[in-house]
C-alpha cells in the first residue's frame, strides 16, 4: 500500500506551496506521458467538485474532462429521468470525445458509474481509478453494498423525500460527516451547491463481466478518515476485488477539496 505523501516525496518531483495553489508538481518530469483524465463526481455534488484538482492536472499538460452527471451540478435533467444508465451514457460520451484512451476516475457513487462505463468501453479506458468509491461485483447495487457499513456516519444525516424518489441531507451533514476536515469555505461551497439527489440509481444493480470491465487495470485511492464510506468498507471492497495499486490519503470523504495536491499527484503517478 502506498501513501500519497510517499508518492509526492519520491515518485514525483517536489511540489511547491500548499494543496490548493497553482504549482506544477502534478505534471511529472519534463517530457513524461500526457494523459486524458475523465473525472466523475459522486452523489450530492457536481463537476465543480474537481475545481482544485483540474488546474493541477492541466498544468502538467494533461487533458481533463470533469462532467456533470444528469441531474447534478449545472445539468437540468429532471430527477425522474436520472438512472444508472443515464449516468453511464454521459460518461461514455465523454470517453468517446477523447482523442486517446482515458484514465477514468470515479468518486463515491461515481464508482458504480465508471464501472459501467468501463464495461461499455474497455478498449478506451487505460486505467480505472476508484477515489474512496464504490467498487462492487456484478449484480450488486450501491445500497446493498453500503447497508453493512456501520462506520458510515453520514447515514444519520440522510433525509429521503416523502415519496422516496430523492434524498437530501439534514443540517450539519457537510462539516460533521461528508467533509469533517474541510475549511469553512469548502463547507459553504458544499452547502450552496447541494441539490436533491435521485434515489433510483442507488438501488440499480451494476452489470459487468470479467471479459470487459474485468480486464481494465484498476487502482483504489482510499481516504483514511472517511465518514461516508468507512475505511473498513473501502478495504473490504478492494480486498474482494483486488486492484493493481492501493494509494492512501489521510483525508475525509472529499480529498479533492482538502488534499487536491495529493489527489493530483496520485493520478499522475499511474
Per-residue confidence (pLDDT) for residue 13, from 0 to 100 = 29
- Cα–Cα distances in angstroms (integers) from residue 247 to residues 26, 80, 130, 200, 237, in the given order: 16, 36, 10, 31, 14
Identify the DSSP state of 27.
Answer: G
- What are the DSSP E strand ranges found in 46-154? 63-67, 102-108, 125-133
Q: What is the reported pLDDT for 31?
A: 47
Q: What percent of the chain has pLDDT over 90?
A: 87
Provide the pLDDT confidence category of residue 4 given band limits of 50, 70 and 90. Answer: low
- pLDDT for 32 equals 73
Name residues whose C-beta falls within 8 Å of residue 123's C-beta, 6 or more positions apart in sequence: 101
Which domains occur in the chain, in start order? Answer: 34-268 (3.40.50.1820)
Is the pLDDT at 17 greater than 50, yes or no?
no
* Model confidence pLDDT, tens digit, residues 235-261: 999 999 999 999 999 999 999 999 999
Residue 15 pLDDT exceeds 50: no
Q: Answer yes or no: is pLDDT of 23 > 50.
A: no
> Higher pLDDT residue, 113 or 20?
113
Half-sphere exposure of 103 (CA within 13 A, CB side): 20
At residue 27, the pLDDT reads: 53
pTM: 0.89
Q: What is the DSSP string of 212-237?
A: TGGGS-EEEEEETT-SSS-HHHHHHH
Cα separations (Å) of 161 from 81, 108, 166? Answer: 16, 21, 5
Amino acid at each position: 500500500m502506498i501513501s500519497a505523501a510517499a508518492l509526492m516525496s519520491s515518485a514525483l518531483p517536489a511540489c511547491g506551496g500548499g494543496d490548493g495553489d497553482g504549482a506544477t508538481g502534478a505534471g511529472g518530469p519534463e517530457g513524461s506521458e500526457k494523459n486524458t483524465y475523465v473525472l466523475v463526481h459522486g452523489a450530492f455534488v457536481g463537476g465543480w467538485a474537481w475545481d482544485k484538482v483540474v488546474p493541477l492536472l492541466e498544468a502538467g499538460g494533461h487533458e481533463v474532462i470533469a462532467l456533470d452527471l444528469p441531474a447534478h451540478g449545472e445539468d437540468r435533467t429532471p430527477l425522474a429521468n436520472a438512472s444508472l444508465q443515464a449516468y453511464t451514457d454521459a460518461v461514455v460520451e465523454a470517453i468517446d470525445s477523447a482523442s486517446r484512451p482515458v484514465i477514468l476516475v470515479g468518486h463515491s457513487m461515481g464508482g458504480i458509474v465508471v464501472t459501467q462505463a468501463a464495461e461499455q468501453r474497455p478498449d478506451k479506458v487505460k486505467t480505472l481509478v476508484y477515489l474512496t468509491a464504490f467498487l462492487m461485483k456484478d449484480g450488486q447495487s450501491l445500497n446493498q453494498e453500503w447497508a453493512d457499513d456501520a462506520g458510515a456516519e453520514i447515514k444519520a444525516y440522510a433525509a429521503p423525500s416523502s415519496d422516496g424518489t430523492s434524498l437530501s441531507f439534514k443540517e450539519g451533514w457537510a462539516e460533521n460527516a461528508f467533509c469533517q476536515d474541510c475549511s469553512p469555505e469548502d463547507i459553504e461551497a458544499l452547502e450552496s451547491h447541494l441539490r436533491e439527489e435521485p434515489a433510483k440509481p442507488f438501488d440499480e444493480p451494476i452489470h459487468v463481466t470479467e471479459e470487459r470491465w474485468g480486464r481494465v487495470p484498476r487502482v483504489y485511492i482510499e481516504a483514511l478518515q472517511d465518514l461516508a464510506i468507512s475505511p473498513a468498507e473501502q478495504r473490504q471492497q478492494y480486498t474482494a476485488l483486488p486492484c493493481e495499486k492501493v494509494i492512501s490519503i489521510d483525508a475525509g470523504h472529499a480529498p479533492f477539496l482538502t488534499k487536491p495536491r495529493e489527489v493530483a499527484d496520485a493520478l499522475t503517478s499511474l
